[in-house]
Amino acid sequence: MTPGLLCAVRGPVMLITLGVLLSIDHFGTVSFARTWPVLLIVFGIFKLAERSSVRSSQ
Amino acid sequence: MSPEEPKPEAAPEPEAPKASPRVVGYCRACGKPLDETNVRNAHGTIYCEEHIPVQQTVPPIPAMPESPYTSPYTAPVPPPGANHDASPGLAFVLGLIPGVGAIYNGQYAKGLVHVIIIGLTISILSNDAARGFEPLLGLLLAGFWAYMAFEAYHTARRRQQGLVVDEFSSLFPMRGGANKFPAAPILLIVLGVIFLLNNLDLFQVERIIRYWPVLLIGLGVYMLYARMSGSSENGGAQ
């Protein structure tokens, strides 16, 4: 994965994650107030992947 | 008739610009038609030779080197991006208002982030969401308030010296940290996992986080240890 591809993919994947969490909230199993830290985890994983791809490309 | 030839007399001689000079535009100031020989580009538009703005036609740097000590324009100290209007003192005062110091430095996104951080902290403090963490949050709020002012001061000084100021300078280490330990992503992931476990009732954070002042003690002990070991190294070297 190149860093540019990771940067391009990050926003859509975050949006998809948010949509999945909100639909889980809407259909009533787990509320969004309990699952929002998944967004933090996904964002952190993306930053980690970006950093490792930059290091491998250098 | 093809649409490329609206005038029948112009089409047979396209290679004779001296006989009929092709009009490429009209002067912005006087409206005179201009061909390719007397058109002048300035400020992203075109002028005729009389109405072109003066500062485009006369660059001050090559005209000055006869007397460099009398002219402020050729002094070697300020780089071309130096902004003498940036006042660090004013930036400090404005930095005491949340976000305004960053806005004064032209960093609008950073100002927005400052406002959001201050607003979130105050709103957590002002309702009962911070159960038992009012001292910690209050200290963080005061520290961040001072940080905003000093950060605006230093950014204004860098601007005054003509150094390049990044949009998120000294807020996050955004780039150039490829060789360092990836602290910020790992911190994000750890925080996310802790909050998620707490929200799903798998792990009681409040029971552990009640002992947060232990962090202060641990930090103090670590600093003491680092300073003692550093001073002993210096003492051994001297």
Provide the token pair at B94: 């404005």
Taking one residue from A and the other from B, the number of pairs with CB-CB distance under 8 angstroms is 53
Residue of B nearest to A52 (CA): B178
Q: pLDDT class for B100, splitting at 50, 70, 90?
A: very high
Q: Answer for the pair B32, B22: CB distance below 8 angstroms, yes or no.
A: no
- Smallest CA–CA separation between A39 and chain B, in Å? 8
- Evaluate if residue B64 carries a pLDDT over 60: no
The three-class DSSP label of residue B26 is strand
Q: pLDDT class for B5, splitting at 50, 70, 90?
A: very low
Nearest-CA neighbor of A47 among B146, B86, B172, B232?
B172
Asked if the C-beta of A51 comes within 8 angstroms of chain B's C-beta atoms, the answer is yes
Contact B182 A47 (CB under 8 A): yes
Contact B192 A40 (CB under 8 A): yes
* Chain A interface test: which of B172, B196, B205 (most A C-beta within 10 Å): B196
With a pLDDT cut of 70, the percent of chain B lying above it is 64
Q: pLDDT class for B88, splitting at 50, 70, 90?
A: confident
Contact B199 A47 (CB under 8 A): no
Residue of A nearest to B192 (CA): A37
Nearest-CA neighbor of B200 among A19, A8, A33?
A33
3-state secondary structure B56-118: HHCCHHHHCCCCCCCCCCCCCCCCCCCCCCCCHHHHHHHHCCCCHHHHHCCCHHHHHHHHHHH
- Smallest CA–CA separation between A16 and chain B, in Å? 18
pLDDT for B94 equals 92
Closest CB to B193 among A35, A41, A58: A41
Residues of B in contact with A38 (CB under 8 A): 192, 196
- Evaluate if residue B178 carries a pLDDT over 60: no
Contact A40 B189 (CB under 8 A): yes
- Smallest CA–CA separation between B193 and chain A, in Å? 7
B116-142 per-position pLDDT tens digit: 989 988 888 888 766 777 888 889 899
Contact A34 B200 (CB under 8 A): yes
ipTM entry: 0.74
Q: How many residues does chain A have?
A: 58
- Smallest CA–CA separation between B185 and chain A, in Å? 4
pTM: 0.45
Contact B178 A58 (CB under 8 A): yes
